[in-house]
Amino acid sequence: MTSTASTTSTTSKTTRAATDESPRSGPRVVPPRAPGDADVRVPYRDLLAFVAGVLVGRGLPENRSEAAAEALCHGDLTGFTSHGVTNLTRLYLPLLDSGRCDPRAEPRIVADHGASVLLDARRALGLWAAGEAMELAVERAHRYGVGMVSVRGATHFGCAGHHALRAVRHHMVGLVTANCGRQRIVRPVGGRSPLLGTNPLALAAPAGDRPPFVLDMATTVAPTGKVRAAARAGQRVPEGWLHDNDGAPVTDPAAFDRGEAHLSWLGGTPDTGAYKGFGLGLLVEVLSALVPGAGLGPSAAVPQAAEAKAGGPDDDIGCFLLAVAPGRLRSETEFLTDAAGLFGALLDCPPVRADEPVRYPGWPEDARCRDRRANGVPLGAALHRELLDLARQSGLPFPAPGGPAEAGSPA
């Protein structure tokens, strides 16, 4: 990174805490199936190498391509397949091929005040740049107890939870939010024009010897990726995901891209709490875009006609990355012990149904990740064919079906 501030810094190269091989308390169970699970499984490491090779072919330096591939494949490891390799040809390659993303861009530190940094990503690939920004936040948290990196000029970065988990590797709490740049997808409650994006946020925290807590969510009922995945599969979506201009539920996912349906905020309707999802979306817009000066969805510079359709490019995305080091405030050992107690108590809560034990966000994803590292990453038949075609076009070998044993977790 380059800097125009009086104090300069590069991303932290601190030694990563041992988490991939750390023991997990409690019985081992078969991880829950995720939507889109399929019978074609390929080894995780081989899939990672293939994705990295494709990105190198698009001009990414090798070290960046490896980090970007890990961020993209995180979605497939954890079950967030709408944010996994399905987006390689649909989102990231077009982003690079169009020139909207610069594969060799060097992010620049614009302002540096120790615990807080303003970073211009300069259209670097978000899959890589967001991780670098979180490492910088972690470095500052090591020094100050908290590190905040505010980013403008960013591009799509995949699963927010993947970047938040980087803080957990250092026994820290990580918070990541991102807006959708100037892309307008969701209407304000009571409004007729889309003004905001799905505006995701993620919080990751250590849980002692248990799987990390990871809340990774859009502020809408569902992200656009899940809607489009259902449309490609010819499936209906649940009532509550989409609504028409009059507020009636829509279950045809293809209606979204036809402009005949709109995403619903978390909470659904005003009577059931839509203002909470809308408020969270605005919270993300403030932290991610208003603070660093990134592209805003609601802007007087863009027409807001009632007939305006959702969409537009998600350029100049803003991100907010925060790392908190509890070990600078009190004993780190005590913190981790208390964290294990907190999340252990949740797991020990008597369930309503014996076959549906209580879990917390991050637990199912951790179990799924370990299974897929050991037994291969499942790919749907259509996606598998698509990646085989990409392999032929790129002159790269594609992983043969199978799954060698390999330990590890999302953290």
Q: Is 66 helix (H, G, I), strand (E, B) or coil?
A: helix
pLDDT 10s digits, 22-61: 334 443 444 555 544 457 999 999 999 999 999 999 999 9
- CA 214 to chain CA mean position, Å: 11
Query: Tokens standing for 327?
Result: 């070990």
Whether the pLDDT of residue 295 is over 90: the answer is yes
pLDDT score at 232 = 86
The C-alpha atoms of residue 87 and residue 62 are separated, in whole angstroms, by 20
The residue with greater pLDDT, 86 or 13, is 86
pLDDT score at 301 = 63
pLDDT score at 103 = 98
The C-alpha atoms of residue 225 and residue 160 are separated, in whole angstroms, by 14
Q: Which long-range contacts (CB under 8 A, 24 or more apart) does 28-36 make?
A: 29/367, 30/371, 31/364, 31/367, 31/368, 31/370, 31/371, 32/364, 32/367, 32/368, 34/79, 34/80, 34/81, 34/368, 35/79, 35/81, 35/226, 35/229, 36/81, 36/229, 36/233, 36/378, 36/380
Q: How confident is the model at residue 13 (pLDDT cuts 50, 70, 90)?
A: very low
Whether the pLDDT of residue 205 is over 90: the answer is yes
The C-alpha atoms of residue 374 and residue 376 are separated, in whole angstroms, by 6
The residue with greater pLDDT, 5 or 399, is 399
Tally Cβ neighbours within 10 Å of residue 209: 16
Whether the pLDDT of residue 138 is over 70: the answer is yes
Q: How confident is the model at residue 247 (pLDDT cuts 50, 70, 90)?
A: confident
The C-alpha atoms of residue 226 and residue 35 are separated, in whole angstroms, by 10
% of residues, the chain, pLDDT over 90: 80
% of residues, the chain, pLDDT over 70: 86
pLDDT score at 408 = 63
Whether the pLDDT of residue 14 is over 50: the answer is no
Q: Give me the mean pLDDT over the 164-181 stretch.
A: 98
The residue with greater pLDDT, 22 or 237, is 237
Q: How confident is the model at residue 219 (pLDDT cuts 50, 70, 90)?
A: very high
Q: How confident is the model at residue 131 (pLDDT cuts 50, 70, 90)?
A: very high
Whether the pLDDT of residue 198 is over 90: the answer is yes
